[in-house]
Amino acid sequence: MDESSRWQDYYPAPKGERKLLNGKSKPGPGRLGEGLHPHRDTPDNNPSIPFEFTEENKKRLDSIIACYPSAHKAAAMIPALDLAQRQHGWLPISAMNKVAEILGVPPMRVYEVATFYTMFNRQPVGKFHVQLCTTTPCMLGGVGSDLILDTIQKHLGIKAGQTTKDNLFTLTEVECLGACTNAPMMQINDDYYEDLTADDTIRILDELKAGKKPKKGPQSGQGGRFASEPKGGLTSLTTEPPGPGFKVRADFCSTLLVPSCRATRRLHEGWDTVRLPKPRQGKSSGRGRVRTTDLPVSKFAL
């Protein structure tokens, strides 16, 4: 068995199928990070296909690169790849090579980054990339991500890892997206849709298909709450914060830097007169012990 054949036994085939040791195939990966890491040239994705940034994106890229020292343009690699993906819809090998050329780095450095971060789609995806979190909090929260996954698959007629025939939707299972309090949730392109029910999910997909913009953030699953509030409403942090200088000893803040310190001094009169510990008189024991003076504990607020 030659080297290329050996690797083909362990990695998925390029066209959305995974080749097994027994020679059979099954549908391609449904979770981010399970895809083909080595590049395989295909008619739609090979270095001979030219890629150029649009004039508008060239200006954007110039402004991104200008944020970094001239000797460290490589620091702009991730935003440059993201810009290429937003322009093309996904990230082909020719776009990676163009980014390497612009930043003056070996192409392998760009490949390393593009294959590490699962947010870079190295295979074509639909216009709306539906990324459903199926990790533990979303699996257990609300109606559960299993129900949402089943709803999406039945409504779109595809399985995880597949794209609809009209190239509108690609469905992918992903790891935690950091909105556990509002589980279950999904990310479609750049937007989060949280506190989902089956009805919410169908409505969102239908509105996107009709060219509308669905409501982002929490949906009806938790009564339309805002952000990560508890189901019953706020139970803490219900008043405006007092601002800088609150309960800060007057001798610890400058009235020039913190305007409210003057009011703090008046409000907590007497708290700023506490005497600090005095060193023990006589020879030092070498352990740095100190003798404290009597402190007005009842007035010491901190």
CA atoms within 13 A on the CB side of 198: 9
Question: For residues 301 and 268, is the Cβ–Cβ distance under 8 A?
Answer: yes
Question: For residues 83 and 50, is the Cβ–Cβ distance under 8 A?
Answer: no
Per residue in 178-208, pLDDT (tens digit) is 999 889 999 999 999 999 999 999 999 999 9
Q: Which has more pLDDT, 17 or 231?
A: 231
Question: For residues 91 and 121, is the Cβ–Cβ distance under 8 A?
Answer: yes
The two three-digit tokens of residue 29, written as one number: 């990966």
Q: Which helix (H) or strand (E) holds 7?
A: helix 3-8
Give the integer Cα–Cα distance in Å for 155 and 150.
9
Give me the count of residues in the chain.
302
Identify the pLDDT of residue 142. Answer: 87
Closest CA to 219 of 143, 131, 140, 119: 143
Give the integer Cα–Cα distance in Å for 12 and 10.
7
Identify the pLDDT of residue 41. Answer: 84
Identify the pLDDT of residue 231. Answer: 65
Confidence of residue 274 (pLDDT cuts 50, 70, 90): very low
pTM: 0.65
The two three-digit tokens of residue 194, written as one number: 């949280």
Using DSSP, how many helices (H) and how many strands (E) does the chain show? 9, 10
Fill in the amino acid letter for 171: L
SS3 call for 107:
helix
Per residue in 215-271, pLDDT (tens digit) is 998 887 666 566 666 667 777 878 887 777 777 777 766 544 444 445 444 544 444
Give the integer Cα–Cα distance in Å for 247 and 268.
8
Per residue in 63-97, pLDDT (tens digit) is 999 999 989 999 999 999 999 999 999 999 999 99
Q: Looking at the predicted structure, is the pLDDT value of residue 15 above 80?
A: no
Taken in order of first residue, the domains within the chain and their CATH numbers are 31-116 (1.10.10.1590), 128-222 (3.40.30.10), 240-271 (no CATH)
Q: In the chain, what percentage of residues exceed pLDDT 70?
A: 67
Q: What average pLDDT does range 119-142 have in this prediction?
A: 93
Mean pLDDT lowest among 17-21, 64-68, 163-167, 205-209: 17-21
Identify the pLDDT of residue 86. Answer: 95
Question: For residues 30 and 160, is the Cβ–Cβ distance under 8 A?
Answer: yes
Identify the pLDDT of residue 288. Answer: 45
Mean pLDDT lowest among 165-169, 182-186, 296-300: 296-300
